[in-house]
Structure 1
Amino acid sequence: MREKAAREMKRIGTSREQQCIQSLHEKFMRTLDLKLQYDKLEKRFLENMPPPSLNVFDKIELHAKGLKKENTYFSSLREQWKNVLRKTKLDLTTLMRQAKLTELEQEKNEYIELLEKYSLSISLRESYETLKHVSETRHHQFAKKKLNFLAK
């Protein structure tokens, strides 16, 4: 189905139209990739598991040279410290989600603008829609596998 659509676009499209379709498809695939990244962040947030890049915060520890580790007050402070770091990581994950969502919306808008700008013929648009549908279906299958990363 994908190959048939690609052959059809090559057969009826000019080189300029083919370049337009190529850039449209790249923009569309970028939106799918951003959606997957957003979905991963969303899943991590809902599972209360911030992204691995934020694990660097786990290395920050509370130290007090004059106090022994067995000191109950110091132990309480260390527990509070860990809770603050945990909350900070979740807050940063929220900001990462918002940034990714903004980036995704911008890419979608740029894609729509390109689609309107190029104004492809009906036959080319139909072939492109077929190609887009196949790519989207395959990407969703790939994304489904990728989103099971926390189940392991």
Structure 2
Amino acid sequence: MRERAAREIKHIGTSKEQQCIQILHEKFMRTLDLKLQYDKLEKRFLENMPPPSLNVFDKIELHAKGLKQDNTYFSSLREQWKNVLRKTKLDLTILMRQAKLTELEQEKNEYKELLEKYSLSISLRESYETLKHVSETRHHQFAKKKLNFLAK
């Protein structure tokens, strides 16, 4: 199905049209990749597990030279410290999700603009839609596997 659509595009389309389709397809695949990244952030947020890039905050510890390690008040402060860091990581995850969603919306808008700009013939558009459908289906299968990362 995909090969047939690619052959039709190559056979029917001019080099300019083929280039336009390639640009459209790259932009479409970028939106799929951004959606996967957003879905990963969303899943991490819902599971209360911030992205690994935020684990650097775990290295920040509360120190007090004058207090002993077994001091109960100091232990309480350390626990509060850890809770604040945990909340901070979740807050940063929220910001990461918002940024990724904004980026995704921008890419989708750019894709729509390109689709309107490149007025493809009906036969080329049908072949491109087939190519797009196959790519989207494969990407969703890939994404399904990738989104099971927290189940392990």
By the TM > 0.5 criterion, same fold?
yes
How far apart, in 2, do the equivalents of 1:148 and 1:136 lie?
Answer: 19
How far apart, in 2, do the equivalents of 1:145 and 1:104 lie?
Answer: 21
Q: Deviations over 1:38-90 (max 9, x none)?
A: 00000000000000000000000000000001111100000000000000000
How far apart, in 2, do the equivalents of 1:86 and 1:59 lie?
Answer: 12
User: What is the SS of the residue equivalent to 1:66?
Assistant: coil
User: What is the SS of the residue equivalent to 1:36?
Assistant: helix
Report runs of 4+ in structure 1 exceeding 2 Å deviation: none
Deviation at 1:108, TM superposition (A): 0.1
Structure 1 residue runs of 5 or longer lacking an equivalent are: none
How far apart, in 2, do the equivalents of 1:146 and 1:75 lie?
Answer: 39
Question: In angstroms, what is the RMSD of aligned CA positions?
Answer: 0.2
Deviation at 1:95, TM superposition (A): 0.1
Q: Once the two structures are aligned, what percentage of the paired residues are identical?
A: 94
User: What is the SS of the residue equivalent to 2:38?
Assistant: helix
Deviation at 1:18, TM superposition (A): 0.1
Q: Deviations over 1:74-130 (max 9, x none)?
A: 000000000000000000000000000000000000000000000100000000000
User: What is the SS of the residue equivalent to 2:61?
Assistant: coil
How far apart, in 1, do the equivalents of 2:72 and 2:18 lie?
Answer: 70
User: What is the SS of the residue equivalent to 2:70?
Assistant: coil
How far apart, in 1, do the equivalents of 2:2 and 2:15 lie?
Answer: 19
1:110 aligned partner? 110
1:120 aligned partner? 120
